Amino acid sequence: MHSAAGTSAATVPSIAVADFAMHLRAQRGLSEHTVRAYVGDIEHLMAFAGRYGRTEIMDVDLGLLRAWLASMAAAERSRATLARRGAAARTFFDWARRTGRVATDPALRLASARPASPLPTVLGVDATARLLDVARTRAQGADPIHLRDWAALELLYATGARVGELCGADLDDLDLSERTLRVLGKGDKERVVPFGVPAADAVQAWLDRGRPALAGDFAGRALLLGRRGGRVDQRQIRGVAHAVAALAGVDDVAPHALRHTAATHLLEGGSDLRSVQEVLGHASLATTQRYTHVTAERLRTSFEQAHPRA
């Protein structure tokens, strides 16, 4: 694609692109990988413009930008690629306008091609039960870490908390009498989430037999600990989720999948969207509404499998 433009993209545009790359590194603090991607996107754009005799960045207008994206869509480039290249163009021309390289920003009204948003991984009720049963069985051994793993997985599913929220929880955030956990979510927003008897049993076993065996000098008030006695790391809990899923013979899951699973099961059980939004700590109801698509897909699958006239 670069050769199609000949020398058209090698004079003023090449200087501007080099300056843009310096801006991304110095002012935006972007990684070298991202800088290379953005520079490649703008070079791709200027090569496309050169085929239409537009050799300067001020020759690029909204129509050409739309034609550029449309050509990639017609070539069946991924939505992620279209989204990134659109973002690169908007960033570049915003910078070019602010630095006086163009009089107006042609990308100001360029629509964003959003990347495809796949539905989250969700375990069925039976598969979730198998996962947690395996965690409970492992916890009957002598290793206190397995007690922690059981408590962590039960809490992730029961509360729908993010793994970072759970790992950041302290003993003071736990109320076993009320069966609630206070977590600190995005934007430093606190919320209190309830959990059921199975999770309470797992947490009680961890507090009675697991945590005292592991607590070291750096344990502080952390609810969940690692093997060295300090606060558990998110990566350790992610590893636990994958390992226990394999032992249980269910779909491979990350801790976030248990959050998705909890939300889906709540909706399938009759909870309203607002309640689920509060449990998950979503700022926008639109985020929670993603799970209605999950439940609809599961309902469709069940219908097609069970209904005689499906």
Catalytic residue positions, numbered: 162, 186, 256, 259, 282, 291
The residue ranges of DSSP E strands in 116-229, in sequence order, are 174-175, 180-184, 190-194
Single out the residue of 125, 95, 123, 127 nearest to residue 108, CA to CA: 95
Q: Give 222's Cβ-side CA count (13 Å radius).
A: 25
Transcribe 24-54 into DSSP letters. HHHTS---HHHHHHHHHHHHHHHHHHHTTT-
Answer for the pair 153, 117: CB distance below 8 angstroms, yes or no. Answer: no
Distances (CA, A) of 140 to 44, 66, 224, 252, 278: 59, 61, 18, 23, 34
Residues in the chain, overall count: 310
Give the 3-state secondary structure of residue 217: coil
Strand pairing category for 190-194 and 180-184: antiparallel
Q: DSSP state, 197?
A: H
- What is the Cα–Cα distance from 62 to 83, expressed in whole angstroms? 16
Single out the residue of 1, 48, 46, 2 nearest to residue 20, CA to CA: 46
